[in-house]
Amino acid sequence: MKLKLAPSVLSFDMTSLSTSVPQLVSGGADIIHLDVMDGNWVPPITFGDALARSVRRHTDCFLEAHLMVANPESQFEPFAKAGCNRILFHIEGSHHPHRLVEGLRRLGVGAGIVINPGTPVSAITELVPIVDMVLVMTVDPGWGGQPMIRSALNKVTELRNLRPDLEIEVDGGVDHGTIVEAKRAGANVFVVGSYLANQTDFEAAARNFKIRMEEA
């Protein structure tokens, strides 16, 4: 599987994304990860489709929206129209996930399902064959900068065995050190927020992380 770096803009200065996003992309970012929180399903509020549209104006990079909101299906069309290439929703927040995957297909965007650290792989067995990506949360959603819950990586290995060609993404606490375990577990897409945002040169930060990702 091709290894991919997906910087999350969550911990970046939101008023400077027009410069930081292109810097991350020239450093080799493969995907820009947009963490959408509604202050209801998770306590913080981040941003909506208007920000995704603004980011799209500044890059051609693949954009994915990670929806941490109540009634995620209400946001499918706005984020698709804003230029997102893939939309990820939580199994814990949806009553009819199979139908939601079909809804994303109809909109012409990639479909991803997300599981929290407390959710077993068995909760999504029926969806694994029909989605483009599974995102395994390695922290509980809501905040950047939390330490990785390493036991969640066992689910990555389980999923890799279930479907070897699946895009498996990990999100939460991924840094220079934990990338090694995440990669060994079988993940191929790595969301990285605070570790990149805490550096001064974002282009170099992304480039160095890509090197680390390949060597880990």
141 binds ligand DX5 (CB under 6 A): yes
Report in angstroms how near the CB of residue 65 gets to ligand DX5 at its nearest. Answer: 11
Residue 152 sits in the site that holds ligand DX5 (CB under 6 A): no
Closest CB to ligand DX5: residue number: 193
Alpha-carbon distance 114 to 131, whole Å? 11
Site for ligand DX5, residues 41 to 100, rule: CB under 6 A:
66
Nearer to ligand DX5, 11 or 59 (CB): 11
- Which one of Zn ion, ligand DX5, none is in contact with 194 (Cβ closer than 5 to 8 A by kind)? ligand DX5
38 is catalytic: no
Measure the CA–CA gap between 112 and 135, rounded to whole angstroms.
7
Q: Which of 5, 46, 66, 93 binds Zn ion (CB under 5 A)?
A: 66
> Does residue 35 carry a catalytic annotation?
yes
Applying CB under 5 A, among 4, 35, 82, 139 the residue interacting with Zn ion is 35
- Look at residue 94 and give the partner it binds from Zn ion, ligand DX5, none, a contact being a CB closer than 5 to 8 Å depending on partner kind: none
Nearest-angstrom CA–CA distance, 192 and 10: 10
